[in-house]
Amino acid sequence: KSLRETFGVDKYSRARKEVLTYMFSRPMQMALYFCTGVLDDESLFHHYALNVPFYTHFTSPIRRYADIVVHRLLSASLGARSPIKMEKEAIQKQADHCNDRKMASKRVQELSADLFFSVFVRVRP
């Protein structure tokens, strides 16, 4: 109820809801891509919210390069395709690059939300 009152009922209420909801979820830890072959600590494979010991996340392989790599690695591990001819260090380098790009994109998104929020606060009576 308090959030509905905060969002309001004017033409900007939906935008306020999206921005504020995004800002509330900011503190959550962001997922990172990594090559399991370079990590010794298997607890890093754990998904906290789902409480599962081993977790792999991916979306449609047409969306992001990292998801194409994950699909190929999973297919190879299940025997559905031949193994990828990349050393684990090279896979980790690709994962690091994808993480860097994802962080940069997230930062731009955050700055955009901050700008919108600043305008919202300035014009709100």
Average pLDDT score over the chain = 84
* 110 compared with 30, residue with greater pLDDT: 110
* Residue-level pLDDT at 29: 67
* 119 compared with 26, residue with greater pLDDT: 119
Write a three-state SS string for 34-76. Answer: CCHHHCCCHHHHCECCCCECCCCCCCCCCCCHHHHHHHHHHHH
**Rounded Cα–Cα distance for residues 91 and 85 (Å):** 10
What does residue 18 show for φ and ψ, rounded to 5 degrees? -65, -45
What does residue 47 show for φ and ψ, rounded to 5 degrees? -105, 115
Tens-digit pLDDT profile for residues 72-103: 888 998 999 998 888 999 999 999 999 999 89
Instruction: Give yes or no for residue 28 having a pLDDT over 70.
Output: no
The pLDDT > 70 percentage for the chain reads 94
